[in-house]
Structure 1
């Protein structure tokens, strides 16, 4: 499994850019950008080199961690997947590209799309400083993707939330048309993010895609409101990260939801742990999404072997074998 922590060489490149920059100014820029994102404003407030740096320092680690967690889940089910080409839609500073490069050593070509000039400039600088050759097209992803090359792996991380319904459907369809093998979409782990993933999932299945993860099936999601599917990835905060976010804890838990689909069906697909398992004195209970719907799988303490397996389970894990529900 690939580490969720941003590679040291990328962290070092970003930190080097802080020399001579006011930390309080960077923190203020970061806070403004974060508030705009939470309000659904996207990258509209990122206009300068300083804005791009503040965004990358504050958000790149968590976004990277969420993408890595999604790719780790994909690799667990598709250990033979060895893509050689990547298309990163709405690439920003190249976060998902770096994650894919770390997860798949077989990748040889990297095509990126984004409409933000400041984020594109930062991505190109990071690539040059770290000996990574990329092709980065500036422009609106739903439009520019028409001329983009097809790729074995296509990814869109924290992107479709910035688009209106029509543009989002257009981009999802275009990404699938450019996908030789696998498409991965990562979104914030909120009810709205889950709803967007569900819409994309439905659209892609109708277009002939097969779900790889996190779902163990291609059927309608069995969760009922107000419940929603999402996961959490813990990452370590650097000193700079803590300063910019005015945080005291040495770690951050990024909530996210993802979807990985392929042109080739995968069987069998494992069940998925949908929440942190509950441990009591007599048993461990795990909420699982299975081919038969949502179940509460129980490992009684008296069953030492099963109990030991369940003690290792974490939220988001794949489960290839499990007992019956209560």
Structure 2
């Protein structure tokens, strides 16, 4: 996987500026409420970001983690040769996907974030005051409601950490909306069994419509973990001092678990997209003296153990640097 600039430090600095003057005790209180809500698997009956302080708390505690996960996802999509000029983020809130996409795709010229909560969009705009790229600085944040999205079209459409707020009928409708508007669609969800289940539902819809999977799967057969486990990955997130105080945390980092799927519409990017990966690393590698052991999802639709020994030379050296979520060297 490529290691492009993710703008994580710039985003943390922007969030720190945006939180100045906001009561930290109130942020911590609301954060507890939001954490409990996001751990629930029930669809939301009303907007989760119900006030300005809810939006500020969400941005402070969730945006760095969402950004870290999406940066890894979009880097993997970029590694397949995808180079979008336009991004449309459905339900994008404060803009974590836009920040991640700007880091992953130097080709981007326009970014549009749609969401129903005006306070979230306003904060998203404020965070761009010192945006690290021209495309990000000129991103558009517009109010729109699911089911009544504008008829915008984009090379890349993202739907991240949104499906858990919807019932299955609404989820399916949102995915269809994304597929009608995008040449490539990326969906990311929390790396839980429930999040994985929603991603599998999206994967099934993409394949049924004749789309080509871009990741993380190296095949289009049934997921080999479907009946025994769940496919998810992790991104390391650095916590700022404010982040630690708001969450009542001590460690200077956390690991954000996520599940994802990406697909390209029929006939799209055929000349640009590279061949499928030789396999996807689906657990933390075990590194021992003279060998690296992986759990891998393979191109033949199976999953299991792969070992790269020191005798493999250059492949072994690459294996020592490989991480959970990367392609198999």
Global fold match (TM > 0.5): yes
Deviation at 1:282, TM superposition (A): 6.1
Partner Cα distance (2:123, 2:328) in 1: 40
Across the aligned residues of Structure 1 and Structure 2, the Cα RMSD in angstroms comes to 2.1
Runs of at least 5 residues in structure 2 that lack an aligned partner in the other structure: none
Aligned match of 2:283 in 254, 275, 278?
275
Cross-structure match for 1:83: 84
Matches within 5 A, 1:230-269: 230-263=232-265, 264=268, 266=273, 268-269=275-276
Cross-structure match for 2:120: 119
SS in 1 for 2:138: coil
> CA 1:114/1:280 → structure 2, altered by over 3 Å: closer, same or farther?
same
Partner Cα distance (1:128, 1:309) in 2: 39
2:152 maps to 1:144: no
2:182 maps to 1:174: no
Aligned length: 314
Cross-structure match for 1:24: 25
Preserved CA contact (<8 Å) 1:5 1:236 = no
Runs of at least 5 residues in structure 1 that lack an aligned partner in the other structure: 321-326
Write the deviation string for residues 164-210 of structure 1: whole angstroms up to 9, x where unpaired: 1111111111111111x311111100111111111100111111210
Deviation at 1:218, TM superposition (A): 1.5
Cross-structure match for 1:159: 162
Partner Cα distance (2:274, 2:138) in 1: 36
Matches within 5 A, 1:197-208: 197-208=199-210
Preserved CA contact (<8 Å) 2:18 2:126 = no
Partner Cα distance (2:48, 2:121) in 1: 14
Partner Cα distance (1:166, 1:275) in 2: 32
Preserved CA contact (<8 Å) 1:29 1:54 = yes
Aligned match of 1:312 in 300, 318, 321?
321
TM-score, normalised by the number of residues in structure 1: 0.89
Partner Cα distance (1:258, 1:224) in 2: 14
Partner Cα distance (1:222, 1:94) in 2: 33
Matches within 5 A, 1:93-112: 93-112=94-113
> CA 1:23/1:49 → structure 2, altered by over 3 Å: closer, same or farther?
same
> CA 1:86/1:249 → structure 2, altered by over 3 Å: closer, same or farther?
same
Write the deviation string for residues 78-117 of structure 1: whole angstroms up to 9, x where unpaired: 2xx3211111001111111121122223222222221222
Preserved CA contact (<8 Å) 2:215 2:263 = yes
Preserved CA contact (<8 Å) 2:85 2:107 = yes
> CA 1:174/1:239 → structure 2, altered by over 3 Å: closer, same or farther?
same
Partner Cα distance (1:68, 1:250) in 2: 20
Choose 308-317 or 64-73, whichever is displaced more: 308-317
SS in 1 for 2:155: strand
2:286 maps to 1:284: no
> CA 1:14/1:113 → structure 2, altered by over 3 Å: closer, same or farther?
same
> CA 1:310/1:6 → structure 2, altered by over 3 Å: closer, same or farther?
closer
